[in-house]
Amino acid sequence: MSKYEIIADSGSTKTDWVIVDENAKPVERIRTIGFNPYFHSTEFIFNEIFSGFSKINIVLEDVQNVNFYGAGCSSKAKNQTVEKALARMFPNAKIHVDHDLIAAARASLGNKDGIACIIGTGSNSCIWENGIVTQNIPSHGYIYGDEGSGSYLGIELVKLYLEDRLGGNLRSEFKKEFKLSKEQILNSTYKEKDPNVFLAHFASFYRPHLQYEFLREIVSKGFDDFFQKRVIPYDNYKNYELGFIGSIAYFHKEILSEVAKKYGVRIANVNRCPIDALVEFHSLKLNLKMT
């Protein structure tokens, strides 16, 4: 009988799943939508996982361990929302659900102490010391926090569009790229599910248009707000290196580095996606068990 372990990294937009065999070798990779127990029920999560795994050829009963890192997995109650779906999907597996901050720290800092940061669809940070999270300033989501994130940038851009404050060329390019009326944008924001993900998808507009100084300034201000709220409040923050994960940090790392320099901190690395580093981390643990 084959034995498998699954490592999953779930943000609000997508979940990357990697299945490794008993020799710690990846045998399958799949991608599903992202899950957040603040927005999604156990039944919804189960159905989406079932749909994703129906496309691959492994026996689900052969999965021995599932290591799931997820946005919103910040309390026992929220973790159980995800755990129940995973336990139903993989009945013989030991289920481990952790916060995505732990994924960020393991992927960007490894065994080094530092400040682990996420700037993707949402944003967050923590102090990582001796392999555990010792401090965290909760972000509280896209309405109350998520500074510098995709949802933050999306909101700022959409406001300009809705208020007719995008210049003629940019307005035309915005309409051409997204093909959404003002009414459709407002409806998706206030009446559809996952408005944070919807708003974050507008952040892709910034990267090819950074020659417009006011767009670059929005990105810079978002990162500045992130440092003000999620880095500087930590005691002795200048003594730590920073590790970042997330598409917004990755695609705008030049601006991110400028802001970090302003605050006198050093960025150790910026990863778009932590899944490969997480697979390496868990594969090393698996190999150690076998020796």
pLDDT digits (tens, 9 = 90+) for 164-194: 999 889 999 999 999 999 999 999 999 998 8
What is the pLDDT, as a whole number, of residue 261? 97
pLDDT digits (tens, 9 = 90+) for 44-102: 999 999 999 998 888 899 999 999 999 888 889 999 999 999 999 999 999 999 998 99
**Nearest residue to 10 via CA among 116, 62, 40:** 40
**Nearest residue to 197 via CA among 20, 7, 19, 14:** 14
What is the pLDDT, as a whole number, of residue 284? 67
Phi/psi class of residue 129: alpha, beta or left (left: φ > 0; alpha: ψ in -120 to 50)? Answer: beta
- The answer to whether 251 and 207 are in contact (CB under 8 A) is yes
Phi/psi class of residue 179: alpha, beta or left (left: φ > 0; alpha: ψ in -120 to 50)? Answer: left
| Pairwise CA distance, residues 203 & 284, whole Å | 36
**Nearest residue to 222 via CA among 108, 129, 146:** 146
pLDDT digits (tens, 9 = 90+) for 121-154: 999 999 999 999 999 998 888 888 899 999 999 9
Global pTM reads 0.86
Q: Which domains are present in the chain?
A: 4-104+274-290 (3.30.420.40)
| Mean pLDDT of the 266-273 span | 92
Task: Tokens for 31, please give them.
Answer: 């991608």
